[in-house]
Structure 1
């Protein structure tokens, strides 16, 4: 794996896409191209297994020796938010993370969850051991705002509503999403 480009006040930035990965027009892909942020690749984007995704994130963070001195920032979208919460509950390496931007966390406890995501129940809710900001949409089809607010509260994260922007993905028309980048900068500072 190549070393991440230094970004955000010399902090490496790792992108954690959700189920099915982030397509080329997604803001995460745009950040990867524009800022050199590094996408954490998973072995199976279609049938994501929580334990496998957690192990992969742990492996990536352990293998970046720079994180001993300069912890990284995590930028999660959708199921990537649930990955951060699950990983943080079990990993011995959470000190390698300075903060997390958690965008559009899905409610994986909904009755209409696709079968591919059933192993992401229950939602892990312990307080995160690093600062975090949860950004939700008022009309996200995968999570009601009050459910997202509840997750943020349990995780000890700041909570923000971005407006009526769906799942805060490509269909939301965010482009490079400078507002999200400003929130990440706030975490970096």
Structure 2
């Protein structure tokens, strides 16, 4: 059995959001953190993901959206656990040279430096050609750094409710693909 852990972005997804629809349709899917939503601090989200990964010995597929993708990359840089694969949907771009303000709150209240190292599990990065937070070239750089397969979603905005994504059949097919053992 493969568990599905949903790793939300920075805010609380609306009930129409594809992640909420997946959770509603699949009661065995779990949120990491639960309940999803603000405030987003990277350290707290990484700790919540680590707790969810360690909650059971079965391998998990991580399904992350937006800032949740950064949570996955930060978790993988610091922890290990039974992860089969990850679906990383439209991670926001954070300049690799960015450093938190030393006079600001921890993690500067949001991200912290984003690891640009290979993920130790199979992953697919979903890239949009019209995302307001990340250019396609920046998605390509993330995919290369994380050794993720790049999935071109075309004109998909940020793959969220405002971009027309309630149901997302292509995402469900990608999750099903990642649930399968590698060939």
Q: Shorter-chain-normalised TM-score: which range?
A: 0.7 to 0.9
Q: Deviations over 1:11-64 (max 9, x none)?
A: 110101101121111000000011222112258843422111111111111122
Asked if the contact 1:13–1:72 (Cα under 8 Å) also holds between the matched residues in 2, the reply is yes
TM-score, length basis structure 2: 0.86
Instruction: Classify the secondary structure of the residue corresponding to 2:133.
Output: coil
Match of 1:51 in 2: 43
Count of residue pairs the alignment pairs up: 171
CA–CA separation in structure 1 for the residues paired with 2:140 and 2:94? 14
Over 4 Å off, 4+ runs:
115-119
CA–CA separation in structure 2 for the residues paired with 1:121 and 1:144? 20
CA-CA distance at 1:107 after TM superposition: 0.7
User: Structure 1: where are the runs of 5+ without partners?
Assistant: 1-9
User: Structure 2: where are the runs of 5+ without partners?
Assistant: 99-103
TM-score, length basis structure 1: 0.83
Asked if the contact 1:104–1:135 (Cα under 8 Å) also holds between the matched residues in 2, the reply is yes
Instruction: Classify the secondary structure of the residue corresponding to 1:18.
Output: coil
- Structure with higher helix content: 1
Matched, 1:133 2:124: yes
Matched, 1:77 2:57: no
Asked if the contact 1:109–1:121 (Cα under 8 Å) also holds between the matched residues in 2, the reply is no
Asked if the contact 1:108–1:121 (Cα under 8 Å) also holds between the matched residues in 2, the reply is no
Matched, 1:164 2:158: no
Match of 1:86 in 2: 74
